[in-house]
Amino acid sequence: MALKLAPEHFEAIRTHGARDYPNECCGMLLGRAEGAKKIAVEIVALNNLRHDPKRAQEVLPLDEPGLESERNRFLIDPLDQLKAEKDARARGLGVLGYYHSHPDHPARPSIYDREHAWPWYSYVIVNVQAGKPGEMTSWVLSEDRSRFDPEEMESSGR
């Protein structure tokens, strides 16, 4: 599948990445799957729950809390997710995937990204280097969970 984003969607993800630097930002891609394409309609910026270590640890415990923080980890509050999904469903939209930033790190998925990924969703990663948004890539988990495959991103040119 290919992921189709409008120029303002690319811009919204980059801006969010720069705004939350040096922390990781995250958000949701909403839209419709049509044939072999996922067509994004809306980008929803969400809060990185790792800013609230106590609550985040309840939702999904970290293995090495001393090394892991909102600088290199993101977690979406399932309640935020549930609300955003419900709201999207009421408007005839579905969740196509999620985006997050890699501050001062290439836009390549980490092992941690892969271990926590779900099939089908697009995982968009934007590199933010010294506060400036850089390369943006999209990835889809393989069926057997062994790897992330790159996903083509298209601009709808609107």
Partner 1 sequence: MTVKVIIPTPLRPYTANKDAVELEARTVAEALSNLTAQHQDLRKHLYADDGRLRSFVNVYVNDEDIRFLEKDQTPVGDSDVISIVPSIAGGCPLRCICS
Question: Which positions lie near partner 1, rule CB under 8 A?
Answer: 24, 26, 58-61, 64, 67-69, 71-76, 78-79, 81-83, 85, 94-95, 98, 100, 102-105, 109-113, 116-121, 123
How many Cα atoms within 13 Å fall on the side-chain side of residue 25? Answer: 27
Contacts with 104 (C-beta within 8 Å, 6 or more apart), sequence order? 22, 128, 129, 130
Nearer to partner 1, 95 or 153 (CB): 95
Q: Are 96 and 121 in contact (CB under 8 A)?
A: yes
Nearer to partner 1, 92 or 158 (CB): 92
Pairwise CA distance, residues 73 & 25, whole Å: 9
Pairwise CA distance, residues 91 & 81, whole Å: 15
Smallest distance from partner 1 to CB 154, Å: 20
Smallest distance from partner 1 to CB 117, Å: 7
Nearer to partner 1, 34 or 158 (CB): 34
Nearer to partner 1, 15 or 57 (CB): 57
Q: What angle do CA 45, 49, 50 make, to 5 degrees?
A: 125
Smallest distance from partner 1 to CB 157, Å: 26
Pairwise CA distance, residues 36 & 99, whole Å: 20
Nearer to partner 1, 71 or 155 (CB): 71
Smallest distance from partner 1 to CB 9, Å: 18
Smallest distance from partner 1 to CB 4, Å: 17
Q: What are phi and psi of 79, to 5 degrees?
A: -70, -40
